[in-house]
Amino acid sequence: MGVLGVLGVLILLVAIILFWSAGLPKIKSKKLSFVMIILGLNVIATPMALFIGVMATDSPTSTINDFWLGFFFIQGTPLLILIIGILKWFIIDKRKNK
């Protein structure tokens, strides 16, 4: 139980560092604040997504597909928002360099 508590504290610490670093001037100047905040949300959502994915495979007849369906049920939206944010950042960066 102690190991799980330490892992939980580490996950929260990483998320807090990501949220805090989104406000730094260097990150703001590169327009990466949105990406850093979504990364923090992904870090927080990943343990819950893994838990739901493992619980989806509890039945003896379940397959790996059931794990991925459970995982992406929780993690799908934050990952999609992260991908959109990164693509938007690349597009804006390329347009400003031209």
What residue ranges do the domains of the chain occupy?
Answer: 2-97
Give residue 36's pLDDT band: very low, low, confident or very high (50, 70, 90).
Answer: confident
Neighbours of 75 (CB within 10 A): 20
The answer to whether the CB of 36 falls within 8 A of the CB of 19 is yes
Q: What is the pLDDT of residue 80?
A: 92
Mean pLDDT within 37-57: 88
pLDDT digits (tens, 9 = 90+) for 76-98: 999 999 899 888 888 876 676 66
Distance (Å, whole) CA 38 – CA 33: 9
Q: Which two tokens stand for residue 38?
A: 């979504």
pLDDT at 13 over 70: yes
Q: What is the pLDDT of residue 1?
A: 63
